[in-house]
Chains A and B, each alone.
Chain A
Amino acid sequence: MLLIDCPHCGPRPELEFRYGGEAHVARPAEPATVDDAQWMAFLYLRSNPKGLHFERWRHMSGCGRFFNCARDTVSDKILKTYPAGQARPSLEALGLAPVDHEVRA
């Protein structure tokens, strides 16, 4: 069983958590000014990378809070978890060399 490090509760078994999709997807500040293609992209288009992925998780059967997680989708290794609202950590902070990973802006 994976242990996931909840930023509020510490390491907990993965069964207490639910996956919450890609993190750092910002809702347009003025939806009325956005055209259909941009809105469609906000709603449906996700990066789906092979490798480093920033994603949301919820500690459903624990503190109940959403938080963010940097995970390698190839190895399933969780590199870092951090509270929701914090900026995406840099590659250096994750211990990764910039050449290995391309992060979508």
Chain B
Amino acid sequence: MRETLMDAAPHPSFDEAGLPLTALALGATKLYPAPDLARFVLRVRPEDGARAAAAWGLSLPDALRASTHKDRHVLWQGPDEFLLLALTSEKQEIIDRLQAEMGGKPYSLVDVSHRNQAFLLTGEGAQQLLETGCMLDLDPASFPVGMTTRTLFAKADLTLWRRDTHTFHIELWRSFMPYVMGLLQQSAVAA
């Protein structure tokens, strides 16, 4: 294996993409790696949204919101674009159900399970920690529980989703993980 400065000091509790394998303390805030999930990007015309929702088992959310039922989540990404999260065991069923339910209507369902990784930031300092790299106003008055959006954390694109007042679910491309992790750890030290 090629030896580089990066290889020289791998932290044993991080996976190869940079996500910690166990909970990580960032000051008073805890970071938990999310379990493996089945993830899909669904693109569907607004008039066919109801069909897709029926196949999925819960309604497609309004703009900038997420809808949740048991272990299934739909996050709004754009006017005709949704990020679907589910248990990995349900992957094939989701693909088949949607194909049957859409009845030939055009849609696109892209498996991005391994493109993204996710973690949860939880604790009273979670919002402040995110605000060190995120330009949005994350006060609960303007970013309430249930709100989700793609945005930037420093230079990395990620999806923020507020699960409750002090807990955020954060989805990002796995190659951005070391960058975001590094910034979060530095910010936690500085704070």
B25 smallest CB distance to A (angstroms): 29
CA distance A62 to B77 in the complex (A): 7
Partner of A61, one of B63, B64, B79, B150: B150
Task: Kindly identify which residue among A8, A12, A65 contacts B136, using a CB–CB cutoff of 8 Å.
Answer: A12
Bitwise, A1-45 to B at CB < 8 A (1) or not (0) is: 100000011101101100000000000000000000000000000
- Give the number of residue pairs across the A-B interface with Cβ within 8 Å: 37
Q: Is the interface of B mostly helix, strand, loop or mixed?
A: strand
User: Interface residues of B toward A: which range?
Assistant: 10 to 19
When the two chains form the complex, which single residue of B78, B136, B152 contacts A63, counting CB atoms closer than 8 Å? Answer: B78
The minimal Cβ–Cβ distance linking A6 to chain B, given in whole angstroms, is 10
A8-B63, A61-B152, A62-B149 known; A13-B79 Cβ under 8 A: no
Question: Contact string, B103-142, partner A, CB cutoff 8 A, digits 1/0?
Answer: 0000000000000000000000000000000011000000
| Given known A8-B63, A9-B64, contact A64–B135 (CB-CB < 8 A) | no
B152 partner residues in chain A, CB cutoff 8 A:
13, 15-16, 61
Asked whether, in the complex, the Cβ of A8 is within 8 Å of the Cβ of B79, the reply is yes
A8 contacts across to B, CB distance below 8 A:
63, 78-79
Contact B149 A64 (CB under 8 A): no
Considering only residues 134-165 of chain B, those with a C-beta below 8 Å from chain A are 135-136, 149-152, 157
Q: 13 A–B contact pairs at CB < 8 A? A: A1-B135, A8-B63, A9-B64, A9-B149, A12-B136, A12-B151, A13-B152, A15-B152, A16-B135, A61-B151, A61-B157, A62-B151, A65-B79
